[in-house]
C-alpha cells in the first residue's frame, strides 16, 4: 500500500491582496506562515518518501515551512525541468533523513494571462461573476490569454503518471505541494470527476487531501 498527500500551498501575499497570481512569483503572507505549523502537524507520524512541487515561490516556500516543523527531515530540491539540482542548506552528508523534493513547471498554477496581477474584485465587476467564475473554475473556459483547466490537466496528468503514479505503484508515500488548479486537475484524474462537476471543487489554502493505493494504482479506502 502507498499513500498520496495533496497539499495546496499556504496563503500567499497576492492571495491575501485578492490579486490573480498565476505564474507570477509572490511569497507567503504572514497568515500563511503562521498556518504552517498546524498543517505540518497533520503529517506528523506519516512516512513521506518524496515530495513533488513547482518552482513557484509560494509552493516551494510552503514545503520549506512545513519541514521547519519536522527537524528530522531535510528537503533536497531536485529540478526535473532542465536536470538542475539545488539544495537548501549546506549539507556535507546525505542520509536517510534527507527527503527528495522534485520540482517541475508541470505542476504550476493555471496561467491567468492578461488577468495576472489584477485585482479579482475589479475583474468581477468588469466581466461579471458568472464569466469570471468559469474562467477560474470551469474546465474548458480560458481567461483572456491564459490557460483553461483542460490545458492544465493536459500537462499535469502525463507528469503525474510518469513520476508520481510510478512512485505510488512502488509502495512509496508521496506528498504533492502545488497550486489550486494543478491540484484540481490531479484530483479530477484520480477521482474521475466529470468536466461539469469539476467546477464545484474548491481546495482551501493549506488543504490536505489523502488517498491510499495498492500496487496496481487502485484506490483503497483509508
The one catalytic residue in 19, 61, 109, 165 is 109
**CB proximity list for 181: less than 8 A, separation 6 or greater:** 109, 110, 149, 152
Residue 108 CA to residue 116 CA, distance in Å, equals: 14
Q: Vertex 74, ends 70 and 80: CA angle to 5°?
A: 125
CB within 8 Å of 129: residues ≥ 6 apart? none
The Cα 74–Cα 98 span in angstroms is: 5
User: CB count, 10 Å around CB of 14?
Assistant: 20
Degrees, nearest 5: CA angle 110-118-197: 40
Active site residue 9: yes
Residue 61: active-site member = no
Active-site annotation, residues: 9, 109
Amino acid at each position: 500500500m502507498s499513500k498520496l498527500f495533496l497539499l495546496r500551498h499556504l496563503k500567499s501575499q497576492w492571495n491575501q491582496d485578492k490579486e490573480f497570481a498565476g505564474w507570477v512569483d509572490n511569497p507567503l503572507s504572514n497568515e500563511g506562515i503562521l498556518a504552517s505549523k498546524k498543517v505540518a502537524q497533520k503529517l506528523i507520524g506519516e512516512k513521506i518518501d518524496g515530495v513533488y512541487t513547482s518552482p513557484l515561490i509560494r509552493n516551494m516556500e510552503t514545503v520549506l515551512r512545513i519541514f521547519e516543523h519536522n527537524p528530522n527531515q531535510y528537503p533536497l530540491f531536485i529540478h526535473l525541468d532542465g536536470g538542475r539540482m539545488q539544495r537548501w542548506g549546506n549539507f556535507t552528508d546525505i542520509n536517510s533523513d534527507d527527503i527528495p523534493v522534485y520540482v517541475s513547471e508541470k505542476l504550476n498554477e493555471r496561467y491567468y494571462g492578461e488577468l495576472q496581477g489584477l485585482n479579482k474584485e475589479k475583474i468581477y465587476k468588469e466581466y461579471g461573476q458568472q464569466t469570471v467564475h468559469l474562467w477560474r473554475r470551469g474546465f474548458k473556459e480560458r481567461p483572456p490569454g491564459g490557460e483553461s483547466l483542460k490545458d492544465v490537466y493536459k500537462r499535469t496528468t502525463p507528469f503525474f503518471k510518469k513520476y508520481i503514479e510510478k512512485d505510488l505503484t512502488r509502495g512509496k508515500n508521496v506528498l504533492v505541494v502545488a497550486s489550486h488548479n494543478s491540484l484540481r486537475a490531479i484530483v479530477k484524474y484520480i477521482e474521475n470527476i466529470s468536466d461539469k462537476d469539476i467546477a464545484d471543487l474548491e481546495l482551501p489554502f493549506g488543504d490536505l487531501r489523502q488517498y491510499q493505493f495498492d500496487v496496481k494504482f487502485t484506490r483503497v479506502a483509508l
